[in-house]
Structure 1
Amino acid sequence: MDRALRVLIAGTGFAGQGHAEAFRGAGAEIVGIVGRTPEVVRDVAQNMGIPYAGTDWQEALTVCKPDIVSIATPGGAHYEPIKQAIAHGCHVFCDKPMTSSGETAAELHALAQAKGVKTAYAASFRYTGSVLHAKQLVAKGAIGEPTEVECISHFNLEREIPFGWSHRKADGGGRLNNNFTHTLSIACSVVGEKILSIIGEVRDDLGRAPIVEGVHNFATRRNFIPKDLDDPALKWGESDVEWSYTVLARLDSPFADKPVSVLFKHGGLVPRFHEDHIVFYGTKGAIYIKGHYGSGQLYLADKTGTWQEMPLPQDIADTVPQVKGETEQCWHYLAREFVRDISGEPVAPYPTFREGSQYQQIIDLIRKNDNWTDVAHLA
């Protein structure tokens, strides 16, 4: 194209501001931002030098005439803005979760295909340097045929974090929507994108959270934890989502004759004893990455079990955006690929609404919690 692509942002919090910076880093022009609260969206627009600020999404689409919309609100608020944007012929960049249900996600995927617009789904931690390195190593046969993957994380989140979208299924809350989406994307990116089968169990071990006014930014929600949780005037909201999960999957891999087994284990409210990690096992070795999203140091083991710390190859390091924060780096990476694709440049496959729809339908299946076999009667 002979001009910068025009981007309209939905959401004024950490993700909205992060998406805006990511698209600017990719050479796009941020033409507007929309939020719920007039004074908040006005302040964010002013601070970021964004020319249009508003609270009416449909009006913003008409006034700003964007090429791309970036959806950075909680998942429960994605459906209508995305549907309207597709109707306007906009390409859509959407943070996870795609929507609050598999049904609505599948509908939006179909609408985007019918309209012929491009989509990007920001289950984007597949773009950390170490995950990109692991993908390269597996493709080169460094661990032989991949056989197993384990993704283990314990967040020890404060139970007193104020009640909000993360506690409500209808708003896109829950650990499957906001943790599993990333680790599933990482596993698929490294060993194979085709998901063959899934089984899982979820648990809500939170129950309730205090209701506090004034929380506008997810990144600063801890600052609003009440000092006196025994205050009789304090109101409480009831959680209806999972805070822990265990999921097993089987992935088809172009690098293995047999399906690869994957374990996803996450405890949102429990402490970790050692580091969170992601491990890829194979017939000739293994890859261990520190960190719940694989953003830490990578280690490679040979078939004798001897581990070696591996430096990040320069060709991969050169592709990682030089911005602060692993979340921001991954947004920048995906936004860059999306802009290049829309501009007609060749790019590697990236997550789209196909993956977003599929992941959302898988989450619905896991949440049914009906995978148990009763063995109490066995002698």
Structure 2
Amino acid sequence: MRRLRVLVAGTGFAGRGHTQAFRAAGAEVVGMVGRNEHVARDITARLGIPFSGTNWAEALSKLKPDVVSIATPGGAHFEQVSQAIAAGCHVFCDKPLAIDGCSASRLREMAEERGIKTAYAASFQYTPSVQHAKRLIAQGAIGSPTEVESISHFHLERGIPFGWSHRAEDGGGRLNNNFTHSLAIAETLIQGGAIQICGDVRDDMGKAPIVEGVHDFTTRRDFIPEDLNDPSLDWGESNVEWSYTVMARMQSKLALKPVSVLFKHGGLVPRFHDDHIAVYGTEGAIFLKGHYGSGALFLHDGVAWEMKPVPADLASSVPPELGETEQCWHVITNLFTRDICGEAVPGYPTFAQGCRFQNIIDVIRRSDTWVDIERP
């Protein structure tokens, strides 16, 4: 079979990572589109990609790719994805799928109408440690799951330059860019899905300095002004959440009763104990270190905690020389490309999940479940 031809949208960290992942899956990356002409030209030259451009529609028409990889901020996704679907391309899209549930639902409908295969990169569920925990839980190591907690505190700098992460209309916010992974992990671990949800969000940021020159999201800290009290600085207003608390009830095929789940994330506050994901059951518990559970795994068998090493088959399932973000992109793109080529593969997240997650985020952001309590 001929190699799949892939066109990438986005020249930053995600664009480069998607390129690497699709190449590892055996696809040919034929082009990359970015906002800035000279940046796109420089990145494609470095990566050995034959086409660079700034016009997405033009690139779709000229290159006629089999697959597009959307590695841009969420605010650009609807137009890019809808144009790709209209061109008959299969679509791999990083999270969030869109800026709201309505837009995400429309993208899902459009893909289904055209028979387009889709993949949605809520991908940290593919770390070896999370897959190890999933296996243990499925084998009955903790009995029936009853409770999950996902706790993280990132202590992000308040001087991070103003950009897409501060704006709801651009796909920013911690729900779009953190909760999506945490929710996918929780659902993966207990083999279930959210059936009820409520939550609260806060914008602890307020404002951020406007600084020119930021292109790569991963290097934005390099642009933090030395003096945040400099009167010459311009400031942009944040309009998204930087902290959230979410409670959910999830149906699990491993439990007769709904599983209680707590998600707690503070984007700007310091951690004291380890960030972690824990799953409690009727006969034991599993504790995963790390905000996405990618650290050491501990199993409580009802008597004591014991660290469990990752099995060799799971440890070898990801490229060891890469960071965990890139590792997980490799797993999901491999499944996606094999599926497109007609191979039988395990299920992976698609626009169906991305659409559902975006509608859940809409519910949480409304925070309309509060009940006033009368004072005695």
Which interval holds the TM-score relative to the shorter structure?
A: over 0.9
Residues of 2 paired with 1:168 and 1:280: CA distance? Answer: 33
Residues of 1 paired with 2:109 and 2:86: CA distance? Answer: 12
**Which secondary structure state, in structure 1, belongs to the residue aligned with residue 11 of structure 2?**
coil
The equivalent of 2:341 in structure 1 is: 343
**Which secondary structure state, in structure 1, belongs to the residue aligned with residue 318 of structure 2?**
coil
Residues of 1 paired with 2:111 and 2:264: CA distance? Answer: 33
The equivalent of 2:281 in structure 1 is: 282
TM-score by length of 2: 0.99
Residues of 2 paired with 1:78 and 1:34: CA distance? Answer: 13
Q: Matches of residues 318-357 of structure 1 in structure 2 within 5 Å?
A: 318-357=316-355
Q: Is the 8 A contact 2:192 2:253 kept in 1?
A: no
AA partner of residue 90 (structure 2):
H
Q: Is the 8 A contact 1:41 1:53 kept in 2?
A: yes
The answer for unaligned runs of 5 or more in structure 2 is none
The equivalent of 2:105 in structure 1 is: 106
The equivalent of 1:367 in structure 2 is: 365
The equivalent of 1:144 in structure 2 is: 143
The equivalent of 2:189 in structure 1 is: 190
Residues of 2 paired with 1:193 and 1:44: CA distance? Answer: 40
The CA deviation at 1:378 is: 4.3
Q: Is the 8 A contact 1:201 1:371 kept in 2?
A: no
Q: Is the 8 A contact 1:109 1:353 kept in 2?
A: yes
1:125 equivalent to 2:129? Answer: no
Q: Is the 8 A contact 1:283 1:303 kept in 2?
A: no
Which deviations, in whole Å up to 9, do the C-alpha atoms of 1:81-127 show, x marking residues without a partner?
A: 10000011100000001111110000000000010010000010000
The answer for unaligned runs of 5 or more in structure 1 is none
Residues of 1 paired with 2:192 and 2:124: CA distance? Answer: 15
The CA deviation at 1:230 is: 1.7
The equivalent of 1:155 in structure 2 is: 154
TM-score by length of 1: 0.98
Residues of 1 paired with 2:196 and 2:213: CA distance? Answer: 42
The equivalent of 2:307 in structure 1 is: 309
Which deviations, in whole Å up to 9, do the C-alpha atoms of 1:165-189 show, x marking residues without a partner?
A: 0000000000000000000000011
RMSD value, Cα:
0.8
**Which secondary structure state, in structure 2, belongs to the residue aligned with residue 351 of structure 1?**
coil
Residues of 2 paired with 1:207 and 1:317: CA distance? Answer: 41
Q: Matches of residues 12-161 of structure 1 in structure 2 within 5 Å?
A: 12-161=11-160
Q: Post-superposition, which runs of at least 4 consecutive aligned residues in structure 1 deviate over 4 A?
A: none
Which deviations, in whole Å up to 9, do the C-alpha atoms of 1:164-219 show, x marking residues without a partner?
A: 00000000000000000000000011112322110000000110000000101100
Residues of 2 paired with 1:246 and 1:355: CA distance? Answer: 21
Residues of 2 paired with 1:254 and 1:316: CA distance? Answer: 23
Residues of 2 paired with 1:371 and 1:242: CA distance? Answer: 17
AA partner of residue 42 (structure 2):
D
Residues of 2 paired with 1:378 and 1:233: CA distance? Answer: 48
| Equivalent residues, number | 376
Residues of 2 paired with 1:310 and 1:276: CA distance? Answer: 18
**Which secondary structure state, in structure 2, belongs to the residue aligned with residue 156 of structure 1?**
coil
Which deviations, in whole Å up to 9, do the C-alpha atoms of 1:334-361 show, x marking residues without a partner?
A: 0011011111111111000000000001
The CA deviation at 1:3 is: 1.0
